Structure 1
Amino acid sequence: MTHDHDLVLRPTPAQTEAALNPPAGRTGGDLVVETLGGLGATTVFGLPGQHALGVFDALRRSDLRYVGLRVENNAAFAADAYGRVTGEAAPLLLSTGPGALTALPALQEAAAASAPVLAIGSQVPTAGLGGGRRGYLHELPDQAASFRGVVKSVHTVRAASQIPSAITAAWQSALTVPHGPVWVEIPQDVLDAPTSLPVVTAMDATPDELPPRPELTALAAHWLTHAERPAIIAGGGVIRSDASGKLRKLAELLRAPVVTTPGGKGAFPWTHPLSLRSWLEDRHTTDFLEDADVLLVVGSGLGELSSNYHTFAPRGRVVQIEADLGKLESNHPALGIHADARLALQALLETVEPREDATAPERVRVLLSQVAERIASQDLALEQEVLASVRRALPEDAPSFWDMTILAYWAWSAFDAKGPNQLHSAQGAGGLGYGLPAALGAAVADPTRPVLAVSGDGGALYSVAELATARQYDLDVTWLIVDDGGYGILRQYMTEAHGESATAATDLTGPDFVALAESFGVPGVRTTPETLERDLAAALTTPGPSVVVLPAVLRMFAPTHGQ
């Protein structure tokens, strides 16, 4: 009896000939780039180092496009954004020790945001492995241990023949839901050594699917069909699984209002009659969601930001669809459905029955008017106009990448992303310096659209070196820097918690960002709140990199997570 898995594809005569006569001058580094090409990669990000030179040398003999950044952490942010925009695994090439470790904060962000980054790092020669202290430059007793608590999976190579399989396994891991960063490390001597192995061709790394259990979706569909006040929280999992269309169909069938989390921005149309928008950090919204008799949570773990700082206490039934098993029911009891959001929403669409509820749009309108009245009472006209100016200047199909800055906190709640997968921020792990390098990665992924990066002056200093990258590759990125002379959000937190005199650590002496940009050959302009829309629009419609600096002190809206 023959089984499908017993079938072996026989090589063609041409393939046999090529295998018997591989090109001369190849090394383990060639096996790396050949495997990446065989998996479908077209672009790699990274930074060279002594132990990794073998793979960088091999790039010269490949069709892969290399985009080199100035700091490893920024290279990882760029790969993160490339993975978010394309849905593909983004290769990231790093060196040993300090080079590898410098990328850890960005890999933490990729893990928190489920971005598929395939990080490949070098190692000291095999003679120095195993915990010994041979005195090699960059040597660590156990380099992989530094990554195990951050990435999704770790893959180690000790011989050239292991390279294709290790990278393929890592690629599959990165793209199996929940997506995430993975780590592969290869010793220097393995990368440098000549190889007579055949050229790597196509590799099979089909991600595993994660369908829902039918008995669970059947029960969830029954609850939702017969609910009196259903509501939906849509998280980043909806974006990553490209399920926003299915979400909209389900919401309309159920007449269920939808709120999106910071990671789920754009998953549901902002101006839809059932859209609660994104005001999760608002007591009125929290009360509305708590009052739902059946709450469907799709692609969110209901973490700190998505639960109004853990003050959210649902009173009705909760159905949680989540691909990350560790997040399932981690914060609230629920009917937990461990599944990819797209597959689970499709199952519900096939099972629920339409609901009639003429009151839902009016309840949404009342809620949004309550939110608007609360914000209007706080004297925040400057902040709202700055955000509105950014929205008017940014083309509807242009993606934006936001650093951890006050304007980004506003954007989480009050910015219309105009579509799924268009607004991205560092809210997963909350590290500074994300905005510009992430925008560069997005511009590499899709050069047909301008890309906006938004930073404060504090976050800008983390990534200002990448203006050189923007200029070198002539990437169409406009960088808006809101300069308030410090770590603005931390200064506000410090003032609220410890008084005005406690802000010394958050005040910063900064450069002239316009002059600094121009020293990199990047045009810069200093603007005002009144001229921001004009200057930003002009920069976004001018090809190539540019910097717009807005000196302004913005404030956050008052906390709304108290009872």
Structure 2
Amino acid sequence: MSRTGGDLVVESLTALGARTVFGLPGQHALGLLDALHRSTLRYVGSRTEVNAAFAADGHARTTGEVTPLFVSTGPGALQTLAGLQEAAASSVPVLGISSQIPSAGLGGARRGFLHELPDQQASFRDVVKHTRVVRAASQIPSAIAEAWRIAASAPTGPVWVEIPQDVLLGPAGVPVVSELSGQPIVLEIRSELIAEAARVLADAQRPVILAGGGVVRSGAQPELLTLAEKIGAPVVTTFGGKGAFPWHHKLSLQSWLEDWHTTEVLQDADVLLVIGSGLGELSSNYHTFQPRGRVIQIEADLGKLESNHRALGIHADAKLALRALIPLAEQRDAVVPELLTKVQQRLDGQDLTLERDVLASVRDALPDDAPSFWDMTILAYWAWSAWDPRDGAMHSAQGAGGLGYAFPAALGAASTVDGPVLAVSGDGGAMYGLPELATAKQHNLNVTWLIVDDGGYGILREYMTDAFGAASGTELARPDFVALAESFGIPAIQTTPERLRTDLADALADAGPRVVVLPALLRMFAPTHLEHR
């Protein structure tokens, strides 16, 4: 068979270093899927497009690599938007490649093609970093290399390429793609800003570091540890920055960002060094944080630089900036506030034994180096603050906050991880991912799915009860999750808080997909004093 535009797509991705593609077939995208079986790329097909986008997200977070996503035109493409919004909010490099209607229908005229939109590309412009519509087969390698480079350049994030059906099915017209470069653009360090940051830190009496997801994405954990120890600065990590700093280090103030004691420590710093965070809603205790000292902000996303607070803004990748700052920083002794003791005293004053025991059981059951993926559920809200990631990354949908992230994202990670992966959902979020039980079984992906079943949207139930005195629209009819999983051929068990540690550990120790269901009504801790609301 002659090579097609679809072959150019897979040849380009292979030349750029891709290994796995996620997606879903569709009428206009058949040229992409047809070319896949002539390539060395592994294909993992999901059951809905939004879950395919979440799976690509999970793979990209786990590998740190640009991850391709294949979908079809119109409804298929549009269903990826929630997943791509999460990827954009969390700076995850997903490369979406969508088909389009035949070229004759492009340009706004209504030709009556199936799945036709007047301007499909417009739906993605405000969600992803970059969009492009390919018009000829010869454009495909350069368009994909351009998109790959943009996705991989700091701040990393999703991109979108559309290719008409006739271009995908038509002749390639150019030789086989053997070499292609998608090297990311490096943010150059401005030495005068680094020198000024060192000067400001040298004069600090109470320096504190707030480390965000940018530290993790750039692999700057060693540099952060070196700098913190050199200048004696305690470190708070954001929810997205889990794993940026050792949890039990003497300088670690962990991640209790919703507790006012942490907010006070950040506010009281005479110099607050913010690395890889935009100080958004969740990182600022819902915008109650008001710094009283100087702020230095190192941020790769130019749009987030000084977007919430005035600072000495340094537009830079975290790793490169910290490397430049370390030799200029002055050695000093550490002064660590008694923050964690106060946080624990507040927790001890609330009736939260069940919640703390459940989270401890999950942590004990999960191997230290295993990654975990968390949906927007009460146990995940606990984990944002209290989870010690150890050597395994913690990922959640806290970037955009959509439901249904955990299980499909964990499947994406499991396609590349040698070992168990944990997904945690509530029963409400789990309903979004049920079709992917078929994906897990078909590809024998090593994911254990913990479903905490409280009969509804638990966190929304709490929010509405607190705000209005009662909840409405939050109670859910749901299936027998154990029987449902078993109908897919996946072993499942219903557990109790007392047996959770053992049952979950056993599930994680077995190869292949597993489901563990915990019926439990969990509550959130009181995060802060009411007078600070």
User: Which category describes the TM-score, using the shorter chain as reference length?
Assistant: over 0.9
Distance of 2:229 and 2:20 partners within structure 1:
40
Count of residue correspondences: 531
Find the aligned partners of 1:97 and 1:108 in 2 and give their Cα distance: 17
Stretches of structure 1 lacking an aligned partner (at least 5 in a row): 1-23
- Which residue of structure 2 lines up, in the alignment, with residue 385 of structure 1? 357
Deviation at 1:43, TM superposition (A): 0.7
2:463 and 2:445 map into 1 onto residues whose CA distance is 35
Q: Does 1:412 align with 2:421?
A: no
Cα distance in 1, alignment partners of residues 116 and 38 from structure 2: 29
Secondary structure of 2:498's partner?
A: coil
Matches within 5 A, 1:343-362: 343-357=320-334, 360-361=335-336
1:515 matched to 2:483? The reply is yes
SS at the partner of 2:229?
helix
- Give, as a single letter, the amino acid of the residue that structure 2 aligns with 1:377: G
Matched residue, 1:6:
none
Which of 439, 458, 470 matches 1:469? 439
| Contact 1:270–1:416 (CA under 8 A) maintained in structure 2 | yes
Partner of 1:12: none
Partner of 1:435: 406
- Distance in 1 separating the partners of 2:419 and 2:196: 43
Per-residue deviation, 1:559: 3.4
Pairing 1:399–2:371 present: yes
Aligned equivalents of 2:375, 2:173: Cα separation in 1: 47
Post-superposition CA distance 1:212-254 (Å, at most 9, x none) = 2111110111111221110000000000000011101100001
Deviation of 1:411 (Å): 0.3
Q: CA deviation at 1:72?
A: 0.4
Q: Distance in 1 between matches of 2:360 and 2:141?
A: 49
Alignment match, 2:313: 336
Tell me how far 1:483 sits from its aligned partner: 0.3
Cα deviations by residue, 1:485-523 (Å, 9 ceiling, x for unpaired):
0000001001111112xx230000000000000000000
**Residue 163 of structure 2 corresponds to residue 151 of structure 1:** no
Cross-structure match for 1:170: 147
Which residue, out of 17, 21, 25, partners 1:40? 17
- Is the partner of 1:93 in helix, strand or coil? strand
- Aligned residue for 1:552? 520
Q: Which residue of 2 aligns with 1:120?
A: 97
Q: Following TM superposition, by how much is the alpha carbon of 1:339 offset from its aligned partner in structure 2, in angstroms?
A: 0.3
TM-fit CA distance, 1:351: 1.0
2:231 matched to 1:254?
A: yes
Residues in 2 aligned to 1:195 and 1:114: alpha-carbon distance in whole angstroms: 33
Alignment match, 2:47: 70
Quote how far apart the aligned CAs of 1:75 are: 0.5
Structure 1 partner of 2:499: 531
Deviation per residue, 1:279-330 (Å, 9 max, x gap): 0111011111111111000000000000000000110100000000010000
Distance, in Å, in 2 between the alignment partners of 1:212 and 1:73 is 37
Alpha-carbon RMSD across the aligned residues, in angstroms, is 0.9
In the alignment, residue 345 of structure 2 is paired with which amino acid? Answer: E
Structure 1 residue 195: Cα displacement: 2.7
For residues 452-504 of structure 1, what are the alpha-carbon distances to aligned partners after superposition, in whole Å with 9 as ceiling and x for unaligned? 0000000000011101000000010000000000000001001111112xx23
Structure 1 counterpart SS, 2:148: helix
Matched, 1:494 2:471: no
Instruction: Determine the structure 1 residue equivalent to 2:421.
Output: 451
Shift of 1:46: 0.3
Greater shift in the superposed pair: 42-51 or 346-355: 346-355
User: Which SS does the other structure have where 1:179 is aligned?
Assistant: coil
- Answer yes or no: is 1:371 the counterpart of 2:348: no
Aligned equivalents of 2:209, 2:460: Cα separation in 1: 32
Quick check: 2:137–2:171 contact (8 Å CA) kept in 1?
no
Q: Are the equivalent residues in 2 in contact too, given 1:80–1:90 (CA < 8 A)?
A: yes
Larger deviation, residues 108-117 vs 198-207: 198-207
Deviations 1:174-221 (A, max 9, x none): 000000000000000000112332001110111001132111110111
Deviation at 1:84, TM superposition (A): 0.9
Letter in 2 for 1:312: F
> 1:211, 1:344 within 8 Å by CA — same for their partners in 2?
no
- Measured in 1, the distance between the counterparts of 2:259 and 2:172 equals 61
Q: How does 1:72-111 map to 2 (within 5 A)?
A: 72-111=49-88
- Cα separation, 1, equivalents of 2:333 and 2:449: 47
Instruction: Choose from 148, 170, 173 the match for 1:196.
Output: 173
Aligned-partner residue type, residue 436 of structure 2: E
Q: Which residue of 2 aligns with 1:210?
A: 187
Amino acid at match of 2:40: D
Classify the secondary structure of the residue corresponding to 1:67: strand
In structure 2, distance between residues paired with 1:71 and 1:263: 26
TM-score of the superposition, structure 1-length normalised? Answer: 0.93
Aligned with residue 270 of structure 1, among 247, 252, 276: 247
Per-residue CA shift, 1:390-427, capped at 9, x if unaligned?
Answer: 000000000000000000000000010114x6000000
Partners in 2 of 1:40 and 1:415 — Cα distance? 33
Whether 1:132 aligns to 2:109 is yes
Native 8 Å contact 1:321 1:339 kept in 2: yes
Q: State the secondary structure of the residue aligned to 1:281.
A: coil
Q: Is the 2:260–2:527 contact (alpha carbons within 8 Å) kept by the matching residues of 1?
A: no
Deviations 1:101-136 (A, max 9, x none): 000000000000000000000000011110111000
* Superposed CA offset, 1:240-285 (max 9, x none): 0000111011000011000000100011001000000000111011
Q: CA deviation at 1:66?
A: 0.5
Q: Which residue of 2 aligns with 1:29?
A: 6
CA offset digits 1:535-560 (Å, max 9, x no partner): 00000000000000000010011131
The residue type equivalent to 1:149 in the other structure is D
Moved beyond 6 Å, runs of 4+: none
- 2: CA distance, partners of 1:504 / 1:521: 36
Letter in 1 for 2:285: N
Secondary structure of the residue aligned to 1:262 is coil
- Paired letter, 1:35: S
Aligned partner letter, 2:200? W
Matched residues in 2 for 1:449 and 1:337: separation? 39
Offset, 1:81: 1.1
Report the secondary structure of 1:107's partner residue.
helix
Q: Distance in 1 between matches of 2:51 and 2:378?
A: 21
CA distance in 2 between partners of 1:377 and 1:473 (Å): 47
Partners of 1:314 and 1:445 in 2: CA distance: 42
CA distance in structure 2 between the partners assigned to 1:339 and 1:156 by the alignment: 30
CA deviation vs aligned residue, 1:79-117 (integer Å, no higher than 9, x gap): 011111111100000100000000000000000000000
- Asked if structure 2 preserves the Cα contact closer than 8 Å seen for 1:300 and 1:322, the reply is yes
CA distance in 2, matches of 1:449, 1:251: 32
8 Å contact from structure 2 (residues 375, 406) kept in 1: yes
* CA–CA distance in structure 2, aligned partners of residues 288 and 198 of structure 1: 61
Cα distance between partner residues in 1 of 2:6 and 2:187? 34
Unaligned segments of structure 2, at least 5 residues: none
The one-letter code matched in structure 2 to 1:384 is R
Indicate whether 1:292 and 2:260 are aligned: no
